[in-house]
Structure 1
Amino acid sequence: MSAPDGSGAPARSVDPPLDPRGVRSAAGLTTVVLALVLVSGSGWLAAAQALVFALGAFAGMRFAPYGVLYRLAVAPRLGPPAEREEAAPVRFSQTVGFLFAAVGALGYLSGLTVLGIVATAFALVAAFLNAAFGFCLGCEMYGLLARARAARA
């Protein structure tokens, strides 16, 4: 996405830069929730996780429930982060997570359990990679898409 001024520069995210520790913390909570979805087969829990993703993706990262929890309960006990990361790639990954969680919820709730399992498992793998290793799969996809867009322009 280019800047509205027509300069061709990437548009800045509406969210301020994020504390990467908060992003990983949120991914850890997401990992736990999605693992519980797989163990329980609960479409309603998958739908709740889809809502969590939707808030971050569409309302902005400052409204992401796990991020709010981190900012209120964890961040005050830590020193300032050594670095910050742009919010746009994280919002993109929240959008991808929303899509997978929503498909998972629909699968479970409609009786298409295999669809629910597969979609939830994909979201779980992505969340686990971020929580355990700091590798944000959605952020990497965002970067690839941005480079492809720039090459086409």
Structure 2
Amino acid sequence: MQVDPRGPRFGASVTTAVLVAVLVTGSWVLLAAQAVVFALAAFLGLRYAPYGLLFRVLIRPRLAPPRELEDAAPPRFAQGVGFVFALVGMAGYATGTIWLGIGATALALAAAFLNAAFGFCLGCEMYLFFRRVTAKFRSEREVPA
């Protein structure tokens, strides 16, 4: 599946705002809502992500067509990484281990901000790195007969 790269960047902008609100309020419930957003995108696909839906309905019709599309797998993986950080943050806030909640939320915020502000998707880069490493590992294990 191919996606308009402006969609995940828009989603990262909304995520940035939500995660700032989480850090300001310390609300694990708000972080749980963001975790649901991450989970929908990661496990069902970007087309089911609420922020992606907002982009497709409200923003994209007002923009020129994208110059190019990108593979959906890297941003989908990035949403999965965000989901893991949100779960860890929720656990921290919910159990009173506030430093863990703040730390996990801040790391997720840093990644979302990098994408929103600079178009650098840290989770996407992780996906590409893992693909290269696993491909190299597979090729090294194949022994010619």
| TM-score normalized by the length of structure 2 | 0.94
C-alpha displacement at 1:101, in angstroms?
Answer: 0.8
Counterpart position of 1:105: 90
Q: Percent identity?
A: 61
Partner Cα separation in structure 2 for residue 64 and residue 81 of structure 1: 19
Aligned length: 138
User: Is 1:133 matched up with 2:118?
Assistant: yes
C-alpha displacement at 1:106, in angstroms?
Answer: 1.4
Where 2:3 maps in the other structure, the secondary structure is coil
User: Is 1:123 matched up with 2:108?
Assistant: yes
Partner Cα separation in structure 2 for residue 146 and residue 79 of structure 1: 32
Report the residue type matching 2:81 in the other structure. Answer: V
What are the superposed Cα offsets for residues 113-136 of structure 1, whole Å, 9 maximum, x if unpaired?
110000000000000000000000
In structure 2, the gaps of 5 or more residues are 139-145
Q: How does 1:19-98 map to 2 (within 5 A)?
A: 19-98=4-83
Larger deviation, residues 103-112 vs 120-129: 103-112
Q: Runs in 1 of length 4+ with deviation above 3 angstroms? A: none
Where 2:86 maps in the other structure, the secondary structure is helix
Counterpart position of 2:143: none
Task: Provide the alpha-carbon RMSD of the alignment.
Answer: 0.6
Partner Cα separation in structure 2 for residue 49 and residue 105 of structure 1: 10
C-alpha displacement at 1:110, in angstroms?
Answer: 1.3
The structure whose residues are more often helix, as a share, is 2
Counterpart position of 1:5: none
| TM-score normalized by the length of structure 1 | 0.89
Where 1:83 maps in the other structure, the secondary structure is coil
C-alpha displacement at 1:150, in angstroms?
Answer: 0.7
In structure 1, the gaps of 5 or more residues are 1-15
C-alpha displacement at 1:152, in angstroms?
Answer: 0.7
Counterpart position of 1:10: none
Larger deviation, residues 44-53 vs 103-112: 103-112
- 1:152 pairs, out of 137, 140, 144, with 137
